[in-house]
Amino acid sequence: MSFRSVVVSAGGTREPWDEVRYLGNRSTGRQGCEVARAALKTGAEVTLVVANVEAALIPRGVKVVQAPTAEDMLYQMNAAAAGADLIVMCAAVADFRPIRVSGKITRHADTIPTLQLERTPDVLMNLIKHRREGQTIVGFGALTGSEAQVREQGRKKALDKGADLLCVNRVGDGHGFAASRNTLFFFDSQGNERGQASGTKLEVAEVLLQLAGEISQSH
């Protein structure tokens, strides 16, 4: 099945602590951009919601929406999702954000500041909660550990999230972030492993779209 309207998120959110500092992660957004590129190749209209992604990674032909923080990502994804057939939540949204302080923190202060955190909104769960009929939603999980541990964590995460398709990949020790290649393990909403794909991030993105189409047709 080819989707007509696709929304993809990419990149890593940066959660401000003060005017200068932020809490972030190592995601470059390459995998999300390659999902968008693969969707364009099928003829879909693609909206790419990006969190701190270099312009060179963004494929030509997509509508680009900026969403640098978790709160921005929640708002922009909700707005873009309304008319989408397929939503791919690939961005690495921070699980926590600093409780912001006013003014600039300085190293010359008499005391060392304490970083206090609060939870960010779960964008994927929000999209699933407010989905419209006929919409297919794909989530991502970046997990650490051995391959066996990643697959088991992925199965549990798929059951917890309830996305139509959950793609998990191993990160750390040279895997995942900033690499040109990736290995994805795919799980459906029942925790069943639907396969895996290894290759360039464009190649695994094409497998992702194929599986999403198969799941969409089975609804």
Domains of the chain from N-terminus onward: 5-218 (3.40.50.10300)
pLDDT at 1: 58
**Gap between the Cα atoms of 80 and 91, Å rounded:** 15
* Per-residue model confidence (pLDDT) at position 110: 78
Identify which has the larger pLDDT, 39 or 133.
Answer: 39
Lowest-confidence segment of 49-63, 141-155, 163-177 by average pLDDT: 163-177
Of 24-33, 95-104, 113-122, the one with minimum mean pLDDT is: 95-104
Question: Which structure tokens are listed for 127?
Answer: 């999209």
C-alpha span between 156 and 173 (Å, rounded): 23
Residue 175 scores a pLDDT above 70 = no
Does position 35 have pLDDT exceeding 90, yes or no? yes
Contact (CB, 8 A) for 15 and 36: no
Amino acid identity at 205: A
Active-site residue identified among 25, 52, 169, 182: 25
Rounded distance, CA 39 to CA 162, Å? Answer: 23
Residue in 219, 212, 217, 218 with CA at minimum distance from that of residue 39:
212
Q: pLDDT value at position 29?
A: 96
Strand order in the sheet with 165-170: 63-66, 45-51, 5-11, 86-89, 136-143, 165-170, 181-188, 193-200
Query: What mean pLDDT value characterizes the chain?
Result: 93
Q: Is the pLDDT reported for residue 59 higher than 90? A: yes
Q: How far apart are CA 37 and CA 141, in angstroms?
A: 20
| Per-residue pLDDT at 120 | 97
Q: pLDDT class for 43, splitting at 50, 70, 90? A: very high
Report the distance separating Cα 35 and Cα 9, nearest Å. 9
In the chain, beta strands by DSSP E: 5-11, 15-16, 22-23, 45-51, 63-66, 86-89, 96-98, 117-119, 136-143, 165-170, 181-188, 193-200
The phi, psi pair for 101, rounded to 5°, reads -110, 150
pTM of the model: 0.94
User: 177 falls in which pLDDT band (50, 70, 90)?
Assistant: confident
192 is catalytic: no
